[in-house]
Structure 1
Amino acid sequence: MARPATYRAEDWIAAGWRALSQGGPAAVRIEALARDLGVTKGSCYGYFADRAALLAAMLAQWRERSGGALIARVEAQKGTPQQRLWALIETVIREGAGSPEPALRGWGRGDPAIREALEALDRQRLGYLEGLFRAMGFPAADANARTRLCYLSLIAEHQLGIAASAEERLEAARAQFALLTAQ
């Protein structure tokens, strides 16, 4: 495969995700990424002041893609709160394979800035889910309990690296969905 003549910031970020997923936070080093991309380290500095800036850009991208942008995609589908909840669950299951979230959460255990960013993302996601359950008519305590069960189930799928096909996971999710949305 021919390498492009120049790389964009997005290419450096993508290389950072690959390194993080394969080797953890210590693997996200500009020199190693440059070697992976087949360019000099200096080309990175046209986009990022240093490694910390690259890591911040990676984290910002993750927060947007897996938070605001994902919620916006689900909301754009319209439908009832139940339909939007299912759309969210299905999207996470279908698109979640190879997610860097387990690596990010591992990284967050040792890095307060990453942990803070993940906590903010968790609050955003939990707030959205709870809003859906409240819109279904559940009282606050029930909506909160259902929100936590739903979210923890989706997060556990990634954290545990469950070796099942998307269709198998969707089948299990349908049963969970029925329990979570039953009045």
Structure 2
Amino acid sequence: MTKGGFYGYFDGRPALLTEMLDEWERRCTKEVIAQVDAEGGDGAERIRRAGQLTFSEDLHRIDLAVRAWAHHDQSVATRLRRIDNERMEFLRKMFSTFITDPDEIEARSTLAFALAIGRHFIVADHPGHTKREAIQLAGELLLRPHL
């Protein structure tokens, strides 16, 4: 793209960066929750589906890049906090459909979110399982009605 072409689309670098964040928010949160709501299912099914959609490899890479960016830009950090709060609220709402203890709802929501984000950083061996299988087992454990 030429410099002139760039300014035909954006009023400058800040506008481009805002558009990038808008696209990330739309694709990784708004559209995911809308699709999960439209497909229905019980709370565990909705959490499972949201995780599959949100943290597909392409969207997960974008999410990690936004998180790295947020370490250096306060406005991005503020936006990331808002989106993470929206995602956590979704998890709390879904877990509350089959868990009644508020502390357990918070713990499971936090663990599920940490697993979804942090799975990329796990490099440990998983005897008898692939990394993907071990992460799936951990996620399924969190979705059991009673631990």
Same fold (TM over 0.5): yes
Structure 1 unaligned blocks of 5 or more:
1-38, 163-167
Which position in structure 1 is the counterpart of 2:133?
Answer: 171
Q: 2:65 aligns with which of 100, 103, 113?
A: 103
What is the identity percentage for the equivalent residue pairs of Structure 1 and Structure 2?
A: 28
Cα RMSD, aligned residues only: 2.2
1-structure distance, mates of 2:132, 2:36: 17
- 1:129 equivalent in structure 2: 91
2:52, 2:135 → 1: CA distance?
Answer: 8
Deviation at 1:63, TM superposition (A): 0.9
TM-score (norm. length: structure 2):
0.84
Q: CA deviation at 1:161?
A: 7.5
Q: TM-score, normalised by structure 1?
A: 0.69
The one-character-per-residue Cα deviations of 1:30-79 (angstroms, maximum 9, x if unpaired) are xxxxxxxxx31111111110000000000011011111111111222211
Residue 91 of structure 1 and its aligned partner are, at CA, apart by 2.6
Q: Go from structure 1 to structure 2 and tell me whether the alpha carbon gap of 1:173 and 1:89 turns closer, same or farther (over 3 Å shift).
A: farther
Q: Does structure 1 residue 113 correspond to structure 2 residue 55?
A: no
User: Which residues of 2 match residues 26-175 of structure 1 at below 5 A?
Assistant: 39-93=1-55, 95-97=56-58, 99-158=61-120, 160=121, 168=130, 170-175=132-137
Name the CA shift for 1:176/1:138 in 2 (closer, same or farther; >3 Å): farther
What is the count of residue pairs matched by the alignment?
140
* 2:39 alignment partner AA: Q
- 1:6 match: none
8 Å Cα contact 2:10-2:16 kept in structure 1: yes
Counterparts of 1:63 and 1:57 in 2: how far apart (Å)? 10
